[in-house]
């Protein structure tokens, strides 16, 4: 192959692999069998091994885990990552609605309801469509940078689709979690290996994401659910939350 043909083939493989990652890990609608995916992945690995100059930070092969870290670096959030409040009876819900209407100066508010996942709140920052940094909530103002670990989660795109109108800066927030079936498989494996089992899926997700060795995170099946955009440039937020979720998806 010529150098140009090599670059085009590598770019095409990365695009195909990330497309199939999205179909499998996000939409739960795989288009090819596992063997077909593995062939694409192995070909990309072989081309990058033979031509290291073609390796890129957003390549799917970089998801396997980087070198262990000595510690997590602190990250100051652009906007605070606040926790949610609870309401246990209708009176508390009505009181929240009253405070919201008073604060916003509106007589009526339209609400969107969704599931609350029991995981770990995470912020993802994209610059020019490339995933550059991820952080935990921490104390709400300063979190821990866990970028290398987040790169191993296949439902998180390393690069946003080029055919979309992508803001030059985009900060997405959401939850890293472990599905119950994956939690049960992990605990079975831990038990067989004589290692500590996890108390619940949230505990397993938090423990897996906060590993100083990203290779350990890569060996545990985590997923990510995005629910908000907390900061961006070149983009105007839609009026309805349902439209925001469609944009994120």
Catalytic residue numbers read: 116
> What are the distances in angstroms from CA 125 to CA 11, 84, 150, 157, 244?
23, 22, 11, 11, 17
Contacts of 18 (CB under 8 A, 6+ apart): 60, 157, 158, 159
C-alpha distances out from residue 249 to 13, 24, 184, 206, Å? 22, 14, 28, 24
Distance, CA of 37 to CA of 157 (rounded, Å): 17
DSSP 107: S
């Amino acid at each position: 192959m010529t150098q140009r043909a090599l670059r085009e083939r590598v770019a095409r493989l990365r695009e195909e692999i990330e497309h199939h990652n999205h179909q499998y890990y996000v939409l739960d609608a795989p288009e090819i069998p596992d063997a077909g995916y593995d062939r694409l992945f192995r070909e990309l690995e072989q081309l990058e091994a033979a031509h290291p100059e073609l390796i890129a930070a957003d390549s799917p092969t970089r998801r396997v885990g980087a070198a262990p870290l000595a510690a997590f670096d602190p990250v100051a959030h652009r906007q605070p990552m606040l926790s949610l409040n609870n309401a246990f009876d209708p009176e508390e819900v009505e009181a929240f609605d009253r405070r919201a209407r008073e604060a916003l100066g509106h007589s009526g508010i339209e609400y969107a309801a969704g599931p609350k996942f029991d995981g770990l709140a995470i912020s993802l920052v994209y610059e020019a469509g490339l995933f550059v940094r991820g952080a935990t909530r921490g104390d709400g103002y300063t979190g821990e940078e866990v970028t290398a670990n987040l790169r191993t989660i296949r439902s998180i795109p390393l690069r946003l689709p080029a055919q979309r109108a992508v803001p030059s800066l985009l900060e997405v927030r959401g939850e890293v979690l472990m599905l119950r079936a994956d939690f049960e498989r992990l605990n079975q494996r831990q038990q067989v290996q004589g290692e500590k089992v996890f108390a619940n899926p949230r505990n397993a997700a938090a423990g897996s994401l906060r590993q100083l060795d990203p290779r350990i995170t890569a060996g545990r099946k985590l997923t990510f659910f995005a629910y908000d955009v907390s900061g961006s440039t070149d983009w105007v937020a839609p009026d309805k939350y349902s439209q925001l979720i469609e944009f994120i998806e």
